[in-house]
Structure 1
Amino acid sequence: MRTASESLAEIRRLIDTHARADLRTPIDGLLLSKVAGGGSPDYSLTDPLLVVMAQGGKRLLIGDEVFEYRAGQCLVVAASLPVTGHYLDTTPEHPSLAMGLVLRPEALSALLLRAPALPRTRTAAGTAAIATGDASPELLDAVARLLHLLASPADAAVLGPLVEQEILWRLLTGPQGDIARQIGLADSALAHVNRAITWMRDNYAVPVRMEDLAQMSGMSVSAFHRQFRTVTAMSPLQFQKRIRLQQARSLLVARSGDIAGVGHRVGYDSPSQFNREYRRLFGAPPGQDAARLRERGEPSFP
């Protein structure tokens, strides 16, 4: 097996070779990011995801919590969350290079059913849906082998699922194992809260009642509110506002000029309130911010 530094060098080379503007690759669920500039904040909605940073770094803000990870480290996101990111040590000559792998609950569940009881690992304090830390040599080696398969579609079709399974196993048995396991356990507190998170993300324009969300999660209202904040570092209403505004931002990029219509579509009855809250979050009025985003044209993941 390669050393961690050898694997990391190979991952950098392969991301630089295969990264595309839309992040996608021929392997389903595998994303590659190459970002040359790190000036303005990056806002995104993320699904459960493993990210391995190969070059550069990133600082994430989720609610009031701040997370930072750099080359050779990984990030695990266990829920659908609105995040704000700032790239670190990133220039056109030294771009940020990262790999993302979508974490599917059914894939993690299948491994957990086959595995012996796994020891608990300790993760840093903070939101229960995010963990960062050093990537193990075994994880980096498996990631490098998965990226190698991008050069051979025939090999990727057969070997890709096997290497992805190995990556998930290295994740489950590594320092971030506890948080990854919560994704695959149907009865975990995170899984219960994720039901409400998924509903809110799919129905962001609909007014929410705490009683309905708590019932959806199988909790009392007070327990749901406490667990939701633990998972997301936000209250349910703050979460809904962020989802609405980030969905509005995506719509404005595609529908230039229809600012009032977009605000109404994401759930705002008052155009002035929409403009005010949009500017507070993104630092510019909707039209100006959307034009800036179209000009930048650099999608990314956490």
Structure 2
Amino acid sequence: MVPQDLISDVAAFVRERAALETGCETGIDGLFAFCSEKRTEFQAMIYEPVMCLVLQGAKEAHLDDRTVRYGAGKSLIVSHALPVTAGVIDASPDKPYVSLALQLDLATVRSLYDEIGPLQEPERASHSMSVAEGDPALFDAVGRLFRLARDPVEVQALAPLVLKEIHFRLLRASHGGMLRQLLLHESPASRISKAIALIRDRYKATLPVADLAAEAGMSQSTFHEHFKALTSTTPLQYQKELRLMEARRLLISGGKSVAAAAYDVGYESPTQFSREYTRKFGLPPRDEKLASAPLAQ
């Protein structure tokens, strides 16, 4: 059962900061509060390694052919950076979508592993984006972390301890298998993480799958199989998603022409860029740029 007072406190916190639909920082590094009084359009974004605890309402994320729905009382663990399309699907003014999201600190996870050793948790097939029922102890710890923000002195003294507790509970969670796998240096999860870091760092460049496989220390066929299993997409599609989302940011900011945005993110053909952009976002890049242009005064 989700604590009702925590729902009220988080919703009030976001409303006071006029951050409905966008969410806001809480004063604790990596902890964000969200409240939406209406369903939202699905938006393309990158889910960084994160834990999301849904207090009320529901959200849905699409990753290629995989759909993940997480509602009240559920916790989401994302172990790898993933390009998704996500939106709030259950919210109203009387019963808004409310959640708390914490960016995962893999250094904290590794330090726990060094302290306590391998966790003897029963493993099951896991994915880099998994949902399960939120443990009452996890709700308690995340709620305590959120309330620490009221006092900067308590943040400084106690937040590191509570953050360590939260990461420990996520490591032991039934859907924390991929986090546990990340700690094993030679595991597929760890190797694919290296390849993802390379793609993100060099997304504008031409990246042969052979080079990515070499970075992961795998054969091309094994690399492709594990990449698809972890991310529900292929390495080249992953890179394309990054390019298109960065191009969209450049267009909406208003500083780039369509052709310039295409070239800036690594496309050699503006025509191909426009075609793939339209398929991804539902409208041509030129229309996106016009729609985001400020009105003349």
TM-score (ref. length: structure 1): 0.88
Aligned to 2:121: 120
Partner secondary structure for residue 233 of structure 2: coil
Query: 8 Å contact 1:121–1:176 — kept in the other structure?
Result: no
What is the alpha-carbon distance in structure 1 between the residues aligned to residue 206 and residue 65 of structure 2? 24
What is the alpha-carbon distance in structure 2 between the residues aligned to residue 158 and residue 281 of structure 1? 46
After superposition, where does 1:249-268 map in structure 2 within 5 Å? 249-256=248-255, 258-268=257-267
Instruction: Give the counterpart letter for 1:12 in structure 2.
Output: I
CA RMSD after TM alignment? 2.1
- CA offsets per residue over residues 46-89 of structure 1, 9 Å max, x none? 21111111111111111211111101101111101101113221
After superposition, where does 1:155-174 map in structure 2 within 5 Å? 155-174=154-173
Correspondent of 2:5 among 10, 13, 20: 10
Aligned to 2:107: 106
Structure 2: state its 5+ residue gaps.
none
User: Offset at 1:196?
Assistant: 0.9
Partner secondary structure for residue 24 of structure 2: coil
What is the alpha-carbon distance in structure 2 between the residues aligned to residue 26 and residue 109 of structure 1? 24
Partner secondary structure for residue 164 of structure 2: helix
Question: What is the number of equivalent residue pairs in this alignment?
Answer: 288
Going from structure 1 to structure 2, the CA distance change for 1:172 and 1:278 (only over 3 Å counts) comes to same
What is the alpha-carbon distance in structure 1 between the residues aligned to residue 106 and residue 238 of structure 2? 22
User: Offset at 1:94?
Assistant: 3.0
Query: 8 Å contact 1:129–1:232 — kept in the other structure?
Result: yes
What is the alpha-carbon distance in structure 2 between the residues aligned to residue 65 and residue 13 of structure 1? 32
In the alignment, is residue 33 of structure 1 matched against residue 47 of structure 2? no
In the alignment, is residue 184 of structure 1 matched against residue 179 of structure 2? no
Going from structure 1 to structure 2, the CA distance change for 1:13 and 1:22 (only over 3 Å counts) comes to closer
Query: 8 Å contact 1:11–1:147 — kept in the other structure?
Result: no
User: Offset at 1:180?
Assistant: 2.1
User: Offset at 1:138?
Assistant: 0.4
Aligned to 1:55: 56
Percent of aligned positions that are identical:
32
Aligned to 1:44: 45
Instruction: Give the counterpart letter for 2:10 in structure 1.
Output: I
**Which stretch shows the higher mean deviation, 250-259 or 261-270?**
250-259
Instruction: Give the counterpart letter for 1:186 in structure 2.
Output: H
What is the alpha-carbon distance in structure 1 between the residues aligned to residue 239 and residue 90 of structure 2? 32
User: Offset at 1:209?
Assistant: 0.5
Instruction: Give the counterpart letter for 1:243 in structure 2.
Output: L
After superposition, where does 1:128-207 map in structure 2 within 5 Å? 128-207=127-206
User: Offset at 1:158?
Assistant: 1.2
Aligned to 1:298: none
What is the alpha-carbon distance in structure 2 between the residues aligned to residue 256 and residue 246 of structure 1? 15
Query: 8 Å contact 1:11–1:143 — kept in the other structure?
Result: no
Instruction: Give the counterpart letter for 1:135 in structure 2.
Output: G
What is the alpha-carbon distance in structure 1 between the residues aligned to residue 292 and residue 129 of structure 2? 26
After superposition, where does 1:232-251 map in structure 2 within 5 Å? 232-251=231-250
Aligned to 2:222: 223
Query: 8 Å contact 1:108–1:183 — kept in the other structure?
Result: no
Query: 8 Å contact 1:112–1:184 — kept in the other structure?
Result: yes
- CA offsets per residue over residues 6-30 of structure 1, 9 Å max, x none? 2xx2332232233344632321111
What is the alpha-carbon distance in structure 1 between the residues aligned to residue 58 and residue 268 of structure 2? 39
Query: 8 Å contact 1:257–1:287 — kept in the other structure?
Result: no
What is the alpha-carbon distance in structure 1 between the residues aligned to residue 127 and residue 293 of structure 2? 33
Query: 8 Å contact 2:31–2:102 — kept in the other structure?
Result: yes
Aligned to 1:70: 71
Instruction: Give the counterpart letter for 1:275 in structure 2.
Output: S
TM-score (ref. length: structure 2): 0.90
**Which stretch shows the higher mean deviation, 155-164 or 87-96?**
87-96
What is the alpha-carbon distance in structure 1 between the residues aligned to residue 271 and residue 258 of structure 2? 11
User: Offset at 1:185?
Assistant: 3.3
Going from structure 1 to structure 2, the CA distance change for 1:185 and 1:251 (only over 3 Å counts) comes to farther
What is the alpha-carbon distance in structure 2 between the residues aligned to residue 293 and residue 35 of structure 1? 23
Query: 8 Å contact 2:73–2:134 — kept in the other structure?
Result: yes
**Which stretch shows the higher mean deviation, 177-186 or 82-91?**
177-186
Partner secondary structure for residue 60 of structure 1: strand
What is the alpha-carbon distance in structure 2 between the residues aligned to residue 141 and residue 220 of structure 1? 44
